Structures are given as C-alpha cells and as structure tokens.
C-alpha cells in the first residue's frame, strides 16, 4: 500500500495470487490422477475444486484414450489457478476431433458444456487442445450464504 502526502492521491493495490501448473504427462490412465494431485497441491479454491478436478480428469482421460499417442509422446497439462478462477488446458499431438460431430459417448463434452463457464477445442496440424474455464466471478459458482 502506498500512501500519498498532501496533494497526492492515495491508493491501495490488491493482487490476486495466481498459480500456474505445467505437467508433461505420459499417455497412461494414471495421468488423470497426477493432474488431480497437482491441482490439489497448488491451492485450488474449495468452491470450484470439485468441478475443476472432475472436468480436468475427464479431458486428460480423453487425451489418453483417444489421441492415439505413442509412449514417447506427452500430454501437456496446463492450469492457471486463482481464488475465483481456473483455466485448464490439455494438449496432445493427436489428430483432434470436431466436438459437434461426437455422437457416441461424448459424456465428457456434455459435462464441459454443462459445468464450465467457457470451453473449447483448438486443433491444428500439430495436435489438439481442449480447454475450459471456471469463473466464480460470474456468480455461477457462488455458495449460498
């Protein structure tokens, strides 16, 4: 906090602590558990923890099951966490997919559509990234008083 003297403005700076998590995961089922553990150990806010870990587990699991990666390739897991916001990205070198064309199964994408504040799929010739955001600032995830 900086205080001003006569004729100066006074202000208080507040900053929300942001934590980033970056993992290179093997294309194995255990990778979803490792992503959950990384979220838990980096102070994921309890108001959004269940939703974030559920959706992160689902999209890491989808990358493991559907990307067709070799054992020497990795799934990149990135999380940006703050008190009232989380953004998760899961990228792989697989061929990708069109989320509108997923007819069978697709339970994880339905969860994303229902629970995430925003989500998307970005695919190009280098791979595919599925991402979502949980934004408690929108009021959607606030607990009743």
Lowest mean pLDDT of 52-66, 69-83, 106-120, name the range. 106-120
User: Would residue 2 count as lying in a domain?
Assistant: no
Inside any domain, residue 13: no
Instruction: Report yes or no on 1 lying in a domain.
Output: no
20-56 tens-digit pLDDT:
999 999 999 999 999 999 999 987 888 899 999 999 9
pLDDT reading at 16 higher than 70: no
Domain contains 143: no
Q: Are 79 and 21 in contact (CB under 8 A)?
A: yes
Q: pTM of the full predicted structure?
A: 0.81
Predicted local distance difference test score (pLDDT) of residue 3: 43
- What are the start-end ranges of the H helices in 1-145? 30-41, 46-66, 107-115
Q: Where are the beta strands (DSSP E) in 56-107?
A: 75-82, 85-92
The number of folded domains in the chain is 1
């Amino acid at each position: 906090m900086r205080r001003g003297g006569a004729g100066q403005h006074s202000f208080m700076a507040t900053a929300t602590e942001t934590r980033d998590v970056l993992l290179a995961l093997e294309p194995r089922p255990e990778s979803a558990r490792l992503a959950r553990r990384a979220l838990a150990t980096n102070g994921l806010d309890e108001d959004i923890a269940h939703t974030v870990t559920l959706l992160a587990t689902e999209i890491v699991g989808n990358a493991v099951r559907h990307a067709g990666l070799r054992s020497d390739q990795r799934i990149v897991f990135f999380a940006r966490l703050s008190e009232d916001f989380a953004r998760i990205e899961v990228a792989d070198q697989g061929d990708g997919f069109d989320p509108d064309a997923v007819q069978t199964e697709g339970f994880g994408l339905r969860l994303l559509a229902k629970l995430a504040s925003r989500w998307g799929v970005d695919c190009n010739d280098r791979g595919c990234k599925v991402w979502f955001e949980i934004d408690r600032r929108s009021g959607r995830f606030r607990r009743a008083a």
